[in-house]
Amino acid sequence: MAGFSSLVLAAGKGKRMKSSLPKVLHPILGEPMIYYVLSSLREAGSSSIGVVVGHGAEQVSSYVRGLFEGVELMVQGEQRGTADAVRTASSWLSGREEVVVLPGDAPLVRSSTLSRAVERFRASGADMLLLSAELEDPSGYGRVVRGEGELVRAVVEEKDASPEQRAIREVNSGIYVFKVEPLLSLLPRVGCSNAQGEYYLTDLVSLFAEGGLRVLALQVDGEEVLGVNDRWQLALASRAMQRRINRFWCERGVSIEDPDSAFVGPRAVLEEDVRLSPFVYVLGRSAVGEGSFVGPNTLLRDAVLGRRVFVHGFCVVEGSTVCDGARLGPFAYVRDGALLEEEAFAGRFVEIKGSSIGKRTKVPHLSYIGDATVGCDTNIGAGTITCNFDGQRKHPTRIGDNCFIGSDTMLVAPVEVGDGAYTAAGSVITEDVPPGALGVGRARQRNIADWARRRALARGERKGD
Q: Which does 172 bind (CB under 5 to 8 A by kind): Ca ion, ligand UD1, none?
A: ligand UD1
Q: Which residues contact 184 (CB under 8 A, 6 or more apart)?
A: 90, 93, 94
- Which member of 222, 227, 400, 439 binds Ca ion (CB under 5 A)? 227
With respect to Ca ion, which residue has the nearer C-beta, 52 or 372? 52
- DSSP letters spanning 272-288: TT-EE-SSEEEESS-EE
Least distance (Å) between residue 57 CB and ligand UD1: 11
Least distance (Å) between residue 47 CB and ligand UD1: 22
- Span near Ca ion by CB under 5 A; candidates 70-78, 183-191, 227-235, 343-351: 227-235
219 strand-pairing partners: 132
Single-letter code of the amino acid located at 184? L
In this structure, are residues 344 and 361 in contact, taking their beta carbons and an 8 Å threshold? yes
Q: Tell me which residues in 408-447 interact with Ca ion (CB under 5 A).
A: none
- Span near Ca ion by CB under 5 A; candidates 16-24, 35-43, 97-105, 180-188: 97-105
Least distance (Å) between residue 200 CB and ligand UD1: 4
With respect to ligand UD1, which residue has the nearer C-beta, 88 or 356? 88
Residues that bind ligand UD1 (CB under 6 A): 9-12, 52, 54, 76, 79-82, 84-85, 103-106, 141-142, 155, 157, 171-174, 200-202, 227, 229
With respect to ligand UD1, which residue has the nearer C-beta, 217 or 382? 217
In Å, what is the CA distance from 31 to each residue of 24, 49, 134? Answer: 10, 19, 28
- 3-class DSSP state of 41: helix
- Report angle CA 146, 149, 155 to the nearest 5 degrees: 20
Q: Which does 85 bind (CB under 5 to 8 A by kind): Ca ion, ligand UD1, none?
A: ligand UD1
With respect to ligand UD1, which residue has the nearer C-beta, 53 or 287? 53
With respect to ligand UD1, which residue has the nearer C-beta, 127 or 170? 170
Least distance (Å) between residue 28 CB and ligand UD1: 14
What's 420's DSSP letter?
Answer: T
- Beta-carbon neighbour count of residue 455 at 10 Å? 10
With respect to ligand UD1, which residue has the nearer C-beta, 72 or 273? 72
Least distance (Å) between residue 84 CB and ligand UD1: 5
Q: Which does 171 bind (CB under 5 to 8 A by kind): Ca ion, ligand UD1, none?
A: ligand UD1
Alpha-carbon gap, residue 289 to 305, rounded angstroms: 6
In this structure, are residues 81 and 198 in contact, taking their beta carbons and an 8 Å threshold? yes
Interaction of residue 107 with Ca ion, rule CB under 5 A = no
- 3-class DSSP state of 158: helix
Alpha-carbon gap, residue 457 to 257, rounded angstroms: 65
In Å, what is the CA distance from 384 to each residue of 13, 47, 380? Answer: 50, 55, 7
- Which member of 105, 271, 343, 416 binds Ca ion (CB under 5 A)? 105
Question: Which residue, 376, 373, 371, 283, is CA-closest to 326?
Answer: 376
Least distance (Å) between residue 238 CB and ligand UD1: 17
Active-site positions read: 365
Least distance (Å) between residue 85 CB and ligand UD1: 4
- Span near Ca ion by CB under 5 A; candidates 78-86, 93-101, 224-232, 406-414: 224-232
What's 443's DSSP letter?
Answer: P
Helix segments in 187-285, DSSP class H: 203-210, 231-250
In this structure, are residues 385 and 411 in contact, taking their beta carbons and an 8 Å threshold? yes
Backbone angles phi, psi at 210, to 5 degrees: -65, -30
The residue nearest ligand UD1 at its CB is: 142
Instruction: Count the residues of the shown chain that bind Ca ion, applying the rule CB under 5 A.
Output: 3
CA 356 to chain centre: 26
Q: Which residues contact 79 (CB under 8 A, 6 or more apart)?
A: 11, 12, 13, 54, 55, 85
Q: Which residues contact 213 (CB under 8 A, 6 or more apart)?
A: 127, 128, 182
Burial class of residue 446 (count of CB atoms within 10 Å of its CB; 0-12, 13-18, 19+): exposed
With respect to ligand UD1, which residue has the nearer C-beta, 225 or 268? 225
Q: Which does 266 bind (CB under 5 to 8 A by kind): Ca ion, ligand UD1, none?
A: none
With respect to ligand UD1, which residue has the nearer C-beta, 9 or 28? 9
Least distance (Å) between residue 109 CB and ligand UD1: 10
- Which spans of this chain sit near Ca ion (rule: CB under 5 A)? 105, 227, 229
